[in-house]
Structure formats: structure tokens, C-alpha cells
Amino acid sequence: MSKQTASFNKALRDIARLINSDTIASEKLQRLVALAPRPLAVRGCSLLLLDEDRTRLIHLAARGISERYLRKGFIEADKSLSETLEGKVVSVVDAAADPRIQFRELARQEHIASIMSVPVRIRGRVAGSLRVYSRTRREFILEEQEYLETVANLAGVMLDAEDTRGSRNQMLGDVATPGPKAGSPLKPETFAHPSEEEFARLLDFYQIEWLYEPRSFPLQWDNGKITEMFTPDFYLPGQDLYIEMTTLKPSLTTEKRQKVRRLRQLYPEVNIKLMGRNDCDRLLAKYDHGPLSGSKTRGIGRVLFSTPQIQRRVRQLAKEISRRHEGERPLLVGVMRGVFVFMADLARHLTVPVDIDFMAISYYGAEKGGAVRVTKDLDINPEGRHVLMVEDIVDTGMTLSFVLSYLRTRSPRSLSVCTLFDKTAHRLADVQLDYVGFEVPDEFLVGYGLDFDEEYRNLPFVALLKEERPESEADR
């Protein structure tokens, strides 16, 4: 038996034993990524899992790569070695130059030269990937690929077993969770404290991507069992910074300070900042005096959809549309003006060639039951074309219904509708929506193209208007 075969055997024996042992799940993961790279003589290893909607990869465990590299932000499934997620083994010889790598510059800074990535399947379905990172440029030979695939299969069995015992979530919780699950991973249903919600809104305002309580750090162990954990409130991937707010009870502040101190000792590579009430108030004051201070109206209230949330959804819609129009050249039609922001973003994510045109209509006389009319017609003839109506928001559906019946008179080959927001509460006209970004409640939205009295169209996120304050308070 060759020396290399012997080292593969030993590593597989150790890994199989580990998986079948009584070790707690999070510890198993950590040890797996420590054992796996050994016979390959590489510098590091990571295990990534797809999130629920299979659009992002989340690091479950990693070894030998820096915290900065791990926390580099979301890894978009379709931008990071996506062939792995189609079930293929991928070898990247030059990570800093390979377009299949999402964070090439960071790879260069971290001296990651080559990467091998194999799919992790759970009961046959691809659920993530196992990767090894090499400091020097190299190609991986077949035996090395086959070894890593075997490890990935064992990892899949382990994840499945932990899952059926209901502890996969706990395992995720121990290591690195993708944030709260419900709805959007970025927007928790509830915050522990209103000041956290305010802070989140502030971050949205400045377009700073954030995660709420994305990761728990074990602080204390007893016989391999974690006895104390600490979960910072926010993580800002762009800044590689954790933030712990101390605006809650002052009695808790001392305890928090101690925990933060201990976290810094145990995880010196982690950046964390404590944020007191004063810091927070200062920031919030800045918010009120920010770019919206000249507002002639009420000002914006709660943020409903953050910039990253919208962007993610727009990308998904574009993917769906591109798939359905493969081999075609659809004509996108927008009704001015609210749709201009969505149209611009959507169009840039489409992978099929398109034509783009706009119409304008006026509600002239509408209040007297009068007609809607076209004030700017299409410049491109829609006859025989696959026409996709792009709308910012469908409320009663009257606008859309009017435009659709007009377009039908121009004999398009097909006619479908994509709207970013669907407000169903007041629907009057029966219109079929083929692609819907978000269903929204019966509230008035502003931002991302939507206006209130022509204001707020340029906000990069979508918010509600501020509640009208009672007279007495408004006077002050």
C-alpha cells in the first residue's frame, strides 16, 4: 500500500470513528474539518451548507482559514463554485483569478492559492459543499478528489443523523447560524429590544448589511459540553464587526462587559464593539438630521424591505424570467415613473437579451369616472414580441389592467407581468401576475421608485411613512 493510500485510510478511519462517537454535534463538525485536510497537505478546510431557499451558503465549520475570510459576507450559491452544487467536483488552481470565486481579492489577501470543492449530499440531494484550501498553487489528483468525496459523504451521513435527532439546528446554533429563519434571514420577526430595532433601521438607512444574532460563541466548557455561550446582537459583514448593545438594563451591562472581555480573550481575531445608550442616541440623532432632514412631509418610519433584501429578491426574479425566456429576446415594458428603479435593477440581472421601453399614462378625469389614457406610447413595436410588463406595485390593479388591454390590441406574441410588490387588499381588477417580488400589507410604501407626492423615490430601500404625530407633539 502506498504511503498516500495509508494516510487516506487513517484519516477516513478517524473521521468514521468521530462520526459514530458520542461527541456533541458542534464538536464533531469542528473535528471533522480539522481531520479532513490532513492527508491532503492543505492549509484549511470548510464545510458549507445551503440555506433554506438554497440561495446562500453558510459556513458550518472551518479550520485553517481566517475569521475575516469566513465572515466575508454572504456567499451566494450561484456565484461560488456553483458547479459543486450541481454535484460536480471543482478544482480551482488560481483562486485570485478564477471568476467562479466570489471573493477573489480576499482570497488573494488571505494567500489562498488553490481550492478543491466537492458536493455534500444528504440522502442524495446536494445540501452544501466541503472545501479545502491550499496556500500554494496546485492541482488535485484523482485519488485526492475521491478521498474528499468520501469525506463529504460521511459528512452528509453525519448531518442527516444529527438532523433526524432534531439537533441539526442546535448544531447550527452552536457554530454559526444564518440568522433568524422566519420570512427573511435579515429581518427578524422580533427584536429583543426596541433600541435594537431602531439600530437595525439606522443600518438599513446607511445601506449597511447586517445580521441579527448570527453567531453564538462558546465561552465556557465542561467535559466537552458548552456551559456558557454569548450571542452578540449584530454582525456587520462589510465591516467584519460584531456589535453588542448595552442599552438594556444597566444591571446587565457589567455582565455583558465581562462576556465581551472573555470573548476577546478566547477569540482574539473577532472584532466586537459594545454600544452604549449614548453612542446609539448620537447615531439616531444623526439619522434624523441625515439626508431626509429637508423633507417637506412626514419623514419615513419603519423600513419594510432593506436594500439587500430587495436586491436578493430581484436577483431571484431575474433568474426565473431568464430561465423562462431562454433563447428569446423579450420586450420589457414599464409604466413611468415608479418602475424606473426596479426596471434598472431587474434588467441588469437578466441573462437573456432584452429590449426596454416605457409608456406613460395619465389619470386625466379619473376622479369623475373619466378615462385613463396613454400619454406616451411605446417606441418599439410589440407586435409578435414576447412582452413582459414590469410594474413597481399593483394595488387596485386598474392601471395594469388598462395597460394590458391596450397592449393586447398591439398583438404581442405573449404577454406576462412581473411586479415587485403586490398589494392585494384593494384589488379590483382581475389581473394575472406571473412574477411577484413581495406581497405587501395594506399600507402606503415609499422608496425604491415609489413616491409620496413625488418624494422618496430615490431611497434605496422601502419604508412606511412616519405615523402622523398628534398636534401637541408636532408643535414642540
Interatomic CA distance for residues 329 and 288, integer angstroms: 46
Q: Which one among 35, 159, 445, 459 touches ligand IMP, defined by CB under 6 A?
A: 445
Q: How many CB atoms lie within 10 A of CB 267?
A: 16
**Angle (deg, nearest 10), helices 194-205 and 277-288:** 50
Q: Which is nearer to Mg ion, 141 or 360 (CB)?
A: 360
# residues contacting ligand IMP (CB under 6 A): 14
Q: Which is nearer to ligand IMP, 144 or 392 (CB)?
A: 392
Grid cell for residue 30: 469542528
Q: Does 44 bind Mg ion (CB under 5 A)?
A: no
Least distance to ligand IMP, CB of residue 437, Å: 14
Q: Which residues are catalytic?
A: 395
Query: Mask: binding to Mg ion, 138-157, rule CB under 5 A, as x and -?
Result: --------------------
Q: Please say whether the dihedral angle defined by the alpha carbons of residues 200, 205, 206 and 209, taken in this order, is positive or negative.
A: positive
Least distance to ligand IMP, CB of residue 407, Å: 15
Q: Does 424 bind ligand IMP (CB under 6 A)?
A: no
DSSP string, 153-218: HHHHHHHHHHHHTT-HHHHHHHH---S--SS-SSS-S--SSHHHHHHHHHHHHTT---EES---EE
Least distance to ligand IMP, CB of residue 363, Å: 9
Residue 226 and residue 174 in contact, taking contact as beta carbons nearer than 8 Å = yes
Least distance to ligand IMP, CB of residue 393, Å: 5
**Which residue intervals of 350-440 are DSSP H helices?**
398-408
| 355, β-bridge pairs | 331
Grid cell for residue 448: 425604491
DSSP string, 323-367: HHTTT---EEEEETTTTHHHHHHHHHH--S--EEEEEEEE-TTGG
Q: Does 447 bind Mg ion (CB under 5 A)?
A: no
180 binds, among Mg ion, ligand IMP, none (CB under 5 to 8 A by kind): none
Which residues, 335 to 374, sit near Mg ion by CB under 5 A? 338
Q: How many residues appear in the chain? A: 476
Grid cell for residue 148: 474528499
Q: Which is nearer to ligand IMP, 387 or 393 (CB)?
A: 393
Binding piece for Mg ion, criterion CB under 5 A, among 5-13, 89-97, 361-369, 386-394 = 386-394
Q: Which one among 346, 450, 463, 465 touches ligand IMP, defined by CB under 6 A?
A: 450
Q: Which one among 295, 344, 444, 458 touches ligand IMP, defined by CB under 6 A?
A: 444
Least distance to ligand IMP, CB of residue 343, Å: 12
Q: Using CB under 6 A as the criterion, which residues of the chain lie in contact with ligand IMP when the complex forms? A: 338, 392-400, 423, 444-445, 450
